[in-house]
Amino acid sequence: MNVDKDFAAHIPLGLKACDFLTKSTDPFLAVKTCTDALDAAGFIKISKRDPFAGVLKPGGSYYYTTNHSTLVAFTVGQKFKGGNGFKIIGGHTDSPHLKVKPISKRSGSGCVQLGVECYGGGLWHTWFDRDLGVSGRVLVRTTDPETGKEKIDQRMVRIDKPVARVSTLCIHLQTAEERGSFKVNKEEHLSPILGTQSLLESGAKAQLNQVDDDDWRKAQEPALLKLIASELDVDTKQIANFEIGLFDIQPASLGGIKSEFLNSARLDNLATCFVALESILAYSTSDDLADDDMISLIALFDHEEIGSQSTHGAGSPVMLEALKRITSAFCDVINVEAHSSAVRRSFVMSVDQAHAVHPNYASKHEKTHSPKMNAGVVLKTNQNQRYATNGVTGFIAREIARKSNTPVQEFVVRSDCPCGTTIGPIISSNTGIRTVDMGMPQLSMHSCREVMGIADLSYGLSMFNAFFKHFNEIDESLEG
């Protein structure tokens, strides 16, 4: 296939991705950015606490969240019946970053610092000398105006100010060996500086400690609590807990001499989340829905970077539960056979960012499996099942690409290198659903700032759109 060299055609989608990535500073905000778009498009929010039966209708579009950091959104084909299959795009909302510890207060050498923990396998040296903001989930005590009873709201906060910084040690105080290796002690070297101790102690800190009897709040930096409270327009005493982390406040941007690259934090794996969202939004209003007898679904999981083993990671019941409950909603009675049939007719595209060949480190790639940026989506294969692709699922993916004229690149890790893994093997082994592993190529994976080609966003979108449109006819052509 010929790869499009006219990058101007891809810039509008690239700019839209920049806006999505800049807003989505953590899994909570990523899901919120998605649900805002789904609400605007007329998707109906449903609750996992309530029955799906009687709510779901053919032709309808719905979504729900788990923990506010995992999202399931789907569109029902007009001809769908219980027992029919699911076309699923899976990705993840989390990325390596610095998360604030339960006791966040820390100080040293006249500076107020923040206690942080490393989440996932980040390239932590890239977090030095960055302007860092704070974002995440905050639990806020409020009063129900009708009953007068206390309730706890879960609110999302994003402070786009350079309130924190992890500074490097100056060159003059380092030995030659230290300069050459730049080894990072994650406990000792990554605590960011928030401010000057004498200034903060004279203000919010002294006042808060005098009047607050909450042990958790006493363990937090008062100035940080005050900043969060101000951002949420609440009193500091209303903050009951938070789950927040740090992010680089530099917005996502287009780069390269012809603006052919997308530079951003969290491309792994919010680039997939963005394209998956765009595809389900487009398909929900497509004319193809009238003849569709399947469910088209995106599942964006938290906790992939730390193994997916949680109540809302890919290793949780979320995926299988979605199939069971949606299938059951279209059956008159509980039907085990319908669920089993749905599993056998379904397919998952596990989509995570892929390793593009680095021109300065080309020897790190297997010579015949070296994907390039702006050259197409990547099909990932590993015979040791670090990826879920096999002969049949790989064929289906290539056929979808062929029908949409989407360029495909192949990736196999060198035999003398370790191989990463994805949600693909986890979902396929937990559910029995056929799965292929794919991704869009990028450089600087797990850095504080990553880069990919904007054409690959378009290729990913065309692949996803074709998946929703053509999967069933390809699947029916397979024998057995």
Contacts of 156 (CB under 8 A, 6+ apart): 28, 29, 32, 68, 135, 136, 137, 138
Q: Could you say which DSSP state residue 332 is in? A: S
Helices 267-283 & 11-23 angle (0-180, nearest 10): 120
C-alpha separations of 374 from 279, 295, 332, 356 in Å: 19, 31, 48, 10
In degrees and rounded to multiples of 5, residue 346 shows phi and psi of: -95, 170
Classify domain 98-248 at the CATH topology level: Aminopeptidase i, Domain 2 (2.30.250)
Q: Taking the complete model, does pTM exceed 0.85, yes or no?
A: yes
Classify domain 7-95+265-476 at the CATH topology level: Aminopeptidase (3.40.630)
Which amino acid, one-letter code, is at 268?
Answer: D
Provide the 10 A C-beta neighbour count for residue 47.
10
Q: Domain segments of the chain: what residues?
A: 7-95+265-476, 98-248
- Exposure letters 96-117 (e unless 16+ CB within 10 A, then b): bbbbbeeebbbbeeebbbbbbe
One digit per residue, pLDDT tens: the chain, 480 residues? 444 557 889 999 999 999 999 999 999 999 999 999 999 999 999 999 999 999 999 999 999 999 999 999 999 999 999 999 999 999 999 999 999 999 999 988 999 999 999 999 999 999 999 999 999 999 999 988 888 899 999 999 999 999 999 999 999 988 888 777 888 999 999 999 999 987 776 665 455 455 677 899 999 999 899 999 999 999 999 999 999 999 999 999 999 999 999 999 999 999 999 999 999 999 999 999 999 999 999 999 999 999 999 999 999 999 999 999 999 999 987 678 899 999 999 999 999 999 999 999 999 898 899 999 999 999 999 999 999 999 999 999 999 999 999 999 999 988 888 888 999 999 999 999 999 999 999 999 999 999 999 999 999 999 999 999 999 999 999 876
